[in-house]
Structure 1
């Protein structure tokens, strides 16, 4: 028995063990040491010499190498499928197989194996990589998320760019015909193009036809205002004119309403317009002599308001969304009078323009890297001023608008802006000299003081909705909140109709109320 350590140079020593094992008798020994790539053989000298000759024939430099073949017309993945099928049949006959890998990005094949096997594979590949007789072979691609009509313009521009680059590389290449149409009913693309351009377009479609994230934008608009008014004034009117002449000879008109307006209305026999507040009138009216009247007005008013609006809206990434909660108010913009067929008849004609007065939220979210969201926001809150008189003329509206672009993290709350406004207005009207007399001067002056304080803040919180689970969770929260409000109303009962129950949403989120869903789920509430 002799023992030999054989250094293997071109083949892995472990690969030779199963080949040589049948040639070693039971009392012999064969092992491989992968670290140094050697074989250890223990056997009779004659058998060891025979194994050395076999190893020298196997341990030779292989002609295997890696070859890259770029395809012009055929699909790399399809060619690999065909060659693999052919190679499976050849392997049964004892032919040496080669390894093939398709690189779809460059539409090329990577071959590794013996030179003869690679030459045979290249013959088949050249036969398969031939252009279609009709290069305008149409293909239909069904989209899952993207809009087919919007995709047409993008793909048309890309195909033109690809064609120009191809002609620049091959000046003699003829112009190719590329036709891309959208079928809106099935949301599919119909593409007629040469195979190389079609493969490029197909890769672009796969990257663009993805599920887009959504953004739920929740806004909080809080407004608190306080108005306080104090009004105190005295007015005089004196009539010392001859009998039959109603024109006054002296008037002290201070504040509102004017005593002259009241006197004029009384002289005309009509009811004067009396504003809110306390009015005390004193006077003496006779057929002859001096007539006089005094009007005292006192008013103190306090008003406050606390408005909280919480609009929310869900939209796709990079998609503008708008929510409007308002009244459509008519505004008088013109008034005309036309004479009819009869000269005495007049046909009044008015033009009215309607505008939304209420809350408007318009937002466009853009999700950036790291869950940061860029928001383009237009927010408006408008209302009719309570001091506006009834009718469509001279309507005064209060309007608060914010238009900005901000960056905010997912589920974080930010303040968009606000207003803290405090006004103090004092009006003092008096008769010179008389109004300055201590004590008696109050009879010859009028004072009006108005204090207004208004606080307005707008907050915003965006929430990224990437999957169905998050969407269901957000919707369920809103659904349960609204249902709780309805349950509270049902427990209070319906006034004057004790036998009636207020409607309530079903307790299951995905259920429909009766009669669309099952009656048991609704009646069980």
Structure 2
């Protein structure tokens, strides 16, 4: 035998081939294979002839093999030995239909290998198997099984189906299948809910979380159970392994014991948005009703102390305005109810920005009735009578229409060389809204009597454009006016004199607000509909009050609106109007002549004016729910002020080029960059905000720059009103 192993390789292969040829047709024939440093391709040829299998050999399959066999082998055993030789050499045989591909192991997984469980397949065959997991996570098993798979093998997880895909030799796949079966077992994890009777769920969860954190520090591989507090039912929810749950449940039962302090627990609750002083009495009333055994509402308690009728312990709610906190003393159940109410009430409320235009629309009607005398001759005109300025202007305009010449005494002349001249003058006056009558008295002198009725139309007067922002359900008020002193009395103490023997009189004065007052209370309803409670008052002093300011006869005009309306956010609503009538009468007359019976009317001028004022209010509410809304509308107002500064400065520069520059606010983004972030550096001296010219260092102070303004011919972009 030893001598046969030492024979030259060529002789062995020739003998093997001869033996194979003799037994190729007999499957029960046996073959004894002894090779030393034989070419692997020659071995593949021999196995093909003995087993009758067809092979495709990759060109990269090269090398020498040594096989020592002490007993004859049947063809199937020879093929298994052949696969083992390939595995040792780093090659693999992949069955593909009627042929077997011999390739390097690194390429074997990419070929058409058979999908199999690995059982009933030669252990060195390349197979692919898909494992469907029922309990374990496929993604979590990949790092565990990776060291057990050769480098060229394939191991991947398909998370949606919780599957593992393994491509390896059949023997290793069978081994991995056994390991996966042991790992994919049902877990004892579960969820358990413990309803507390005495303790507070939040406090118990805090204790259990601290214990679990300490256990994790001691053993980083330990599983940490999930512990959650359900404040609505005052329960503790534990999710985890059975052993962990049992241990934590035991701790919960030990903690859920009655408190030794009959006065109950005390907690300080810091509010985020609500006002502690306003919330305290609400919570006390709720605590009393909630702890009543019959469920009937009790008497509203005093703000400082409350005791439930059916409770053995006091429920006390106090407020600290300095820290905006509530101090609550209550038994566990009542404490949970109070904290639940606080969470629902302590929320950030939306804000409402209200823009208003308060306008006074006047319909003024001034009726002027009188006779203005003008004495005309053939060449000039002379005025005799009362001519008001409007009449003088009318005559001057009429004179220009009639082609007259200069007049006498500063009064425009009215040419009367022809009869048609006066007619032309009358037509000119009629064109200006006047009524004229022309007559002739005597031959040389002509009298023109002008009877006119003029009407003047008033326009709209904007009284105020207030803009105010307030919280939902909070009243906001704007007052613009003066405190005017009103004399309420005057006294002189009889019998009481000064050292000089004089009586000491004194007066009593009461000061009242006179001006414009606007009060608005918004309430945000569903669908961004705002309910507005509006109170508007406009007061003023009369101009013709006898005695002047501070007198007992001083009169105040007052107009007020008190209304409740509903409007959607962003819409404009008009409220109006208050109509007030004011009639003024005046008379101008020539002394003595105006008193002549029957003829006195020819020497008098009367003027009657009537003013109708209609107060109208335009409301534009907008809901501001977040910081983005606030920044948007704040920027609009900021830009409006900045553009007004630029327009004013441009007008000033146009009128007075030598005038010094006026300060102009920064651009909004530049202002935020220097003021909104403490770590932001201010603009360097000489560097103006975007869109502005350079500014000297001395001209920058507290975010305001005295920038050189552009010339009117090239105003900055966006300098108009927003």
TM-score bracket for this pair, using the shorter chain length: 0.5 to 0.7
Q: Output aligned runs, 1:364-375, within 5 Å.
A: 364-375=521-532
Map of 1:201 onto structure 2:
338
Work out the CA distance in 1 between the residues paired with 2:163 and 2:460.
89
Map of 1:468 onto structure 2:
627
Secondary structure (helix, strand or coil) at the match of 1:164 reads coil
Map of 2:485 onto structure 1:
330
| Cα distance, 1:14 vs structure 2 | 7.5
Cα deviation per residue 1:449-477 (whole Å; 9 max; x = unaligned)? 54433333211011222233332332333
Q: Contact 1:17 / 1:31 at 8 angstroms: preserved in 2?
A: no
1:150 aligns with 2:282: no
Work out the CA distance in 2 between the residues paired with 1:326 and 1:110.
63
Q: Output aligned runs, 1:51-70, within 5 Å.
A: 66-70=191-195
Map of 1:312 onto structure 2:
467
Work out the CA distance in 2 between the residues paired with 1:218 and 1:364.
13
User: Which has the larger displacement, 480-489 or 403-412?
Assistant: 480-489
Q: Structure 2 residue aligned with 1:355, among 512, 531, 538?
A: 512
Map of 1:214 onto structure 2:
351
Q: Contact 1:326 / 1:356 at 8 angstroms: preserved in 2?
A: yes
Work out the CA distance in 1 between the residues paired with 2:326 and 2:140.
56
Q: Structure 2 residue aligned with 1:522, among 688, 705, 708?
A: 705
Work out the CA distance in 2 between the residues paired with 1:32 and 1:326.
78
Q: Structure 1 residue aligned with 2:366, among 228, 240, 257?
A: 228
Map of 2:665 onto structure 1:
506
Map of 1:107 onto structure 2:
234
Count of aligned pairs between the two proteins = 439
User: Which has the larger displacement, 84-93 or 197-206?
Assistant: 84-93
Cα deviation per residue 1:266-321 (whole Å; 9 max; x = unaligned)? xxxxxxxxxxxxxxxxxxxxxxxxxxxxxxxx998958463102112221111111
Work out the CA distance in 2 between the residues paired with 1:15 and 1:338.
104
Please give the root-mean-square deviation of Cα atoms over the aligned residues, in Å: 5.5
Cα deviation per residue 1:68-108 (whole Å; 9 max; x = unaligned)? 210230435325415644775898899x9866543233221
| Cα distance, 1:146 vs structure 2 | 2.1
| Cα distance, 1:137 vs structure 2 | 4.2
Map of 2:199 onto structure 1:
73
Secondary structure (helix, strand or coil) at the match of 1:417 reads strand
Q: Contact 2:360 / 2:616 at 8 angstroms: preserved in 1?
A: yes
Map of 1:122 onto structure 2:
249
Q: Contact 1:13 / 1:39 at 8 angstroms: preserved in 2?
A: no
Q: Structure 2 residue aligned with 1:385, among 521, 542, 548?
A: 542
Secondary structure (helix, strand or coil) at the match of 2:206 reads helix
Cα deviation per residue 1:361-418 (whole Å; 9 max; x = unaligned)? 0111111222211110001122223343451343333322111111111121111222
Calculate the TM-score normalised by the size of structure 2.
Answer: 0.48
Work out the CA distance in 2 between the residues paired with 1:520 and 1:117.
62
Q: Contact 1:66 / 1:110 at 8 angstroms: preserved in 2?
A: yes
1:394 aligns with 2:549: no
Q: Contact 1:214 / 1:464 at 8 angstroms: preserved in 2?
A: yes
Work out the CA distance in 2 between the residues paired with 1:352 and 1:231.
43
Q: Contact 2:351 / 2:471 at 8 angstroms: preserved in 1?
A: yes
Q: Contact 1:330 / 1:354 at 8 angstroms: preserved in 2?
A: yes
Map of 1:287 onto structure 2:
none
Q: Output aligned runs, 1:11-50, within 5 Å.
A: none
Work out the CA distance in 1 between the residues paired with 2:185 and 2:649.
90
Q: Contact 2:291 / 2:310 at 8 angstroms: preserved in 1?
A: no
Q: Structure 1 residue aligned with 2:260, among 129, 133, 136?
A: 133
Work out the CA distance in 2 between the residues paired with 1:341 and 1:219.
56
Q: Contact 1:338 / 1:348 at 8 angstroms: preserved in 2?
A: yes
| Cα distance, 1:157 vs structure 2 | 2.2
User: 1:501/1:159 Cα in 2 relative to 1: closer, same or farther (>3 Å)?
Assistant: farther
Q: Which has the higher strand share?
A: 1
Runs (5+) with no aligned partner, structure 1: 234-297, 428-438
Work out the CA distance in 1 between the residues paired with 2:184 and 2:627.
60
Work out the CA distance in 2 between the residues paired with 1:17 and 1:477.
59
Work out the CA distance in 2 between the residues paired with 1:154 and 1:56.
61
1:159 aligns with 2:283: no
User: 1:80/1:492 Cα in 2 relative to 1: closer, same or farther (>3 Å)?
Assistant: same
Work out the CA distance in 2 between the residues paired with 1:138 and 1:125.
21
Secondary structure (helix, strand or coil) at the match of 1:159 reads helix
Q: Output aligned runs, 1:177-188, within 5 Å.
A: 177-188=314-325
Higher relative contact order (CA closer than 8 Å, sequence separation 6+): 1
User: 1:194/1:381 Cα in 2 relative to 1: closer, same or farther (>3 Å)?
Assistant: same
Q: Contact 1:9 / 1:59 at 8 angstroms: preserved in 2?
A: no
| Cα distance, 1:325 vs structure 2 | 0.7
| Cα distance, 1:167 vs structure 2 | 10
User: 1:390/1:179 Cα in 2 relative to 1: closer, same or farther (>3 Å)?
Assistant: same
Map of 1:408 onto structure 2:
567
| Cα distance, 1:323 vs structure 2 | 0.6
Q: Contact 1:167 / 1:174 at 8 angstroms: preserved in 2?
A: no
Q: Contact 1:423 / 1:453 at 8 angstroms: preserved in 2?
A: yes
Work out the CA distance in 1 between the residues paired with 2:229 and 2:332.
16
Q: Contact 2:366 / 2:609 at 8 angstroms: preserved in 1?
A: yes
Q: Contact 1:493 / 1:501 at 8 angstroms: preserved in 2?
A: no
Runs (5+) with no aligned partner, structure 2: 1-118, 122-131, 297-307, 372-451, 587-597, 676-696, 709-722
Cα deviation per residue 1:111-134 (whole Å; 9 max; x = unaligned)? 456766644433222112234434
Work out the CA distance in 1 between the residues paired with 2:273 and 2:257.
34
Cα deviation per residue 1:218-271 (whole Å; 9 max; x = unaligned)? 1111212214143559xxxxxxxxxxxxxxxxxxxxxxxxxxxxxxxxxxxxxx
